[in-house]
């Protein structure tokens, strides 16, 4: 039995992945991985995921350059969720130019933008 056999993939063959920045401890994004994505992550040290909408494995940062160096992986008690501990290249995980994809916070009136755009998305994807 190897490490991957202890992961409880769901009926779609996927496991939730929480991506956390090792320097800031911010949760950068939520994503999914299948067996192949996890194996590629461990083999390459880069954050690799599975896109449900595109139905394929994707390497974070392949188009934006904002890749992730995965320095650790954690598994929850049930084996049903994984954390990637990452160094976020460029300090930006969101395609909007925010550091984290979780840039909305609930206030009394609704969700508000709680952090600044660090880089113009146009600039990130057209270089």
Q: List residues binding a second copy (CB under 8 A).
A: 2-3, 6, 16, 18, 20, 25, 27, 29-30, 42, 72-78, 80-81, 83, 94-96, 98, 101-106, 110-111, 114
According to DSSP, residue 86 is labeled E
Identify which of residues 56 and 95 has a Cβ nearer to a second copy in the complex. Answer: 95
* CB 11, min distance to a second copy, A: 11
Confirm if 55 and 121 have CB atoms less than 8 A apart: no
* CB 115, min distance to a second copy, A: 10
The phi-psi region of residue 53 (left if phi > 0; otherwise alpha if psi is between -120 and 50; otherwise beta) is alpha
Instruction: State how far the Cα of 28 lies from the Cα of 19, in Å rounded to an integer.
Output: 6
The owner of tokens 């969700």 is 111
* CB 101, min distance to a second copy, A: 4
* CB 98, min distance to a second copy, A: 8
Identify which of residues 20 and 64 has a Cβ nearer to a second copy in the complex. Answer: 20
Query: What one-character-per-residue DSSP string does 40-62 give?
Result: HHHHHSB-EEEETTTTEEEETTT
Instruction: State how far the Cα of 48 lies from the Cα of 75, in Å rounded to an integer.
Output: 16
Identify which of residues 65 and 72 has a Cβ nearer to a second copy in the complex. Answer: 72
Identify which of residues 6 and 123 has a Cβ nearer to a second copy in the complex. Answer: 6
According to DSSP, residue 95 is labeled T
């Amino acid at each position: 039995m190897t490490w991957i056999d202890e992961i409880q993939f769901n009926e779609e063959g996927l496991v939730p992945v929480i991506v956390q920045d090792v320097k800031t401890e911010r949760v950068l994004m939520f994503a999914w991985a299948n067996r192949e994505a996890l194996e590629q992550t461990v083999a390459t040290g880069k954050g690799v995921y599975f896109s449900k909408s595109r139905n394929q494995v994707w390497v974070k940062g392949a188009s934006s350059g904002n890749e992730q160096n995965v320095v650790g992986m954690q598994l929850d008690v049930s084996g049903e969720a994984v954390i990637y501990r990452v160094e976020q290249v460029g300090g930006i995980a969101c395609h909007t130019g925010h550091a984290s994809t979780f840039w909305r916070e609930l206030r009394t009136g609704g969700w508000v933008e709680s952090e600044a755009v660090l880089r113009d998305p146009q600039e990130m994807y057209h270089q």
